[in-house]
């Protein structure tokens, strides 16, 4: 209890000192008189303040103990960011000053897309302010976007421009329509060894299209002639320079107990006499489409066969037409390998002699008598 009372006395003393110091700028006569009359108000009297000034006030009696005096000293401690306070009561009554930035210096940071900045310093403190330095934007650094020529099937582009720094398009490239193909058609005829076709080629880009293909013609040989003891040759009639060569196939037959042989392709005869090619002979047959019928003969003999590339191919049935003068007044017989002869019926139609052959061998040997 004594300790508590001692603390109260100390606090009362401190408060009295504060009031005494605070009252230096105030008329404290009313304050003193009030405390002399009412000592118990020592803890209820205060130095108060408002925007109009400071004063003493008794909370207990709710009465002013002094006049309201104006604040002072705030003009000396006001700053850019803090309000000025009364030196007596610490009431803030002077508005802060705010920064006063001056002496702005350009920072050299402009680009081609924005203006640069400049920085100033407050004249009352060390605070700085950075703001836009208007009209300092740099010009774009132009880069040429090259033109692209159009092709037959691809659009082109006109020349354009962009900024080398920020890539902004300064002059936009425009599309140039594709030119379209200039197709021209030519026909490649087939040859003996190469097929034919129709080729459509663009004169500009060489775009090519091939259609209407046809097969190669194959060689078309003329008359076959004996080349050696065992072979015969012929030249291609299509002027390709090809000389065909094939082995002679000798067909044997018996006549009067003698064995003879013919090559129906080149006309070679084992007797040494060559049968001539009957060029005016015509054959009617549904047989092979590739190859040639060949008819050879003399006054006594005639051979009929079908050859392809100089080699005999087995035919079936054929109607043979030869010049009538070759058989007029004569008997024609088919001779088999054993020498047996079968007479053929020969009809005469105008200047042609006509007969039918049924083939049992690659070529037919006929005896004329």
Contact 276, 254 (CB under 8 A): no
Residue 46 DSSP symbol: E
Per-residue model confidence (pLDDT) at position 3:
45
Q: Confidence class of residue 31 from pLDDT cuts 50, 70 and 90?
A: confident
| C-alpha distances in Å from residue 155, one per residue of 184, 206, 353, 356 | 22, 17, 74, 71
Question: In angstroms, rounded to a whole number, what is the distance separating the alpha carbons of residues 81 and 115?
Answer: 30
**What is the CA 52 to chain-centroid distance, rounded?**
84
Q: Which of 49-63, 276-290, 291-305 has the lowest mean pLDDT?
A: 276-290
Which helix (H) or strand (E) covers residue 19, if one does? helix 2-22
Share the mean pLDDT of the chain: 87
Residues 187-193 have a mean pLDDT of: 92
Q: Residue 11: pLDDT above 80?
A: no
Q: Confidence class of residue 253 from pLDDT cuts 50, 70 and 90?
A: confident
Pinpoint the alpha helices (H) of 192-329. Answer: 324-327
Q: Residue 27: pLDDT above 70?
A: no
pLDDT (tens digit, 9 = 90+) per residue, 83-94? 999 998 899 999
Q: Which of 175, 3, 26 is nearest to 87 (CA)?
A: 26
Per-residue model confidence (pLDDT) at position 273:
82
pTM: 0.51
Q: Residue 21: pLDDT above 70?
A: no
Q: Residue 6: pLDDT above 60?
A: no
Please give the angle made by the CA atoms of 77, 79 and 82, to the nearest 5 degrees. Answer: 95
State the sign of the Cα–Cα–Cα–Cα dihedral 146, 147, 149, 154: positive
pLDDT (tens digit, 9 = 90+) per residue, 193-210? 999 999 999 999 989 999
């Amino acid at each position: 209890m004594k300790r508590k009372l001692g603390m109260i006395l100390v606090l009362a003393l401190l408060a009295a000192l504060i009031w005494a110091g605070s009252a230096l700028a105030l008329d404290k006569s009313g304050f003193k008189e009030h405390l002399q009359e009412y000592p118990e108000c020592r803890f209820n009297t205060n130095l108060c303040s408002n925007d109009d000034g400071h004063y003493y006030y008794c909370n207990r009696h709710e009465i002013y103990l002094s006049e309201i005096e104006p604040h002072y000293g705030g003009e000396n401690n006001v700053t850019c960011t803090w309000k000025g306070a009364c030196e007596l009561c610490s009431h803030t009554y002077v508005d802060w000053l705010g920064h006063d930035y001056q002496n702005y210096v350009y920072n050299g940071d402009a680009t081609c897309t924005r203006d640069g900045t400049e920085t100033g310093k407050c004249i009352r403190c060390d605070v700085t302010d950075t703001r836009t330095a208007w009209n300092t934007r740099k010009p774009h650094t132009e880069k040429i976007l090259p033109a692209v020529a159009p092709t037959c099937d691809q659009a082109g582009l006109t020349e354009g421009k962009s900024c080398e720094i920020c890539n902004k398009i300064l002059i936009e490239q425009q599309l140039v329509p594709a030119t379209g193909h200039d197709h021209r058609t030519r026909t490649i005829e087939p040859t003996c060894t190469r097929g034919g076709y129709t080729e459509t080629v663009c004169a500009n880009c060489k775009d090519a299209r091939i259609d209407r293909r046809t097969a190669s013609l194959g060689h078309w040989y003329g008359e076959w002639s004996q080349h050696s003891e065992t072979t015969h040759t012929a030249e291609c009639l299509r002027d390709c320079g090809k000389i065909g060569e094939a082995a002679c196939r000798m067909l044997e037959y018996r006549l009067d107990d003698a064995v003879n042989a013919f090559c129906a392709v080149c006309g070679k005869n084992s007797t040494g006499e060559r049968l001539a090619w009957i060029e005016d002979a015509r054959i009617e047959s549904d047989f092979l489409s590739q190859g040639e019928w060949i008819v050879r003969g003399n006054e006594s003999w005639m051979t009929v066969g079908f050859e392809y590339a100089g080699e005999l191919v087995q035919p079936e049935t054929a109607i043979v037409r030869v010049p009538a003068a070759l058989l007029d007044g004569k008997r024609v017989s088919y001779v088999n390998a054993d020498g047996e002869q079968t007479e053929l019926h020969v009809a005469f139609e105008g200047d042609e002699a006509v007969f039918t052959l049924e083939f049992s061998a690659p070529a037919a040997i006929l005896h004329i008598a």
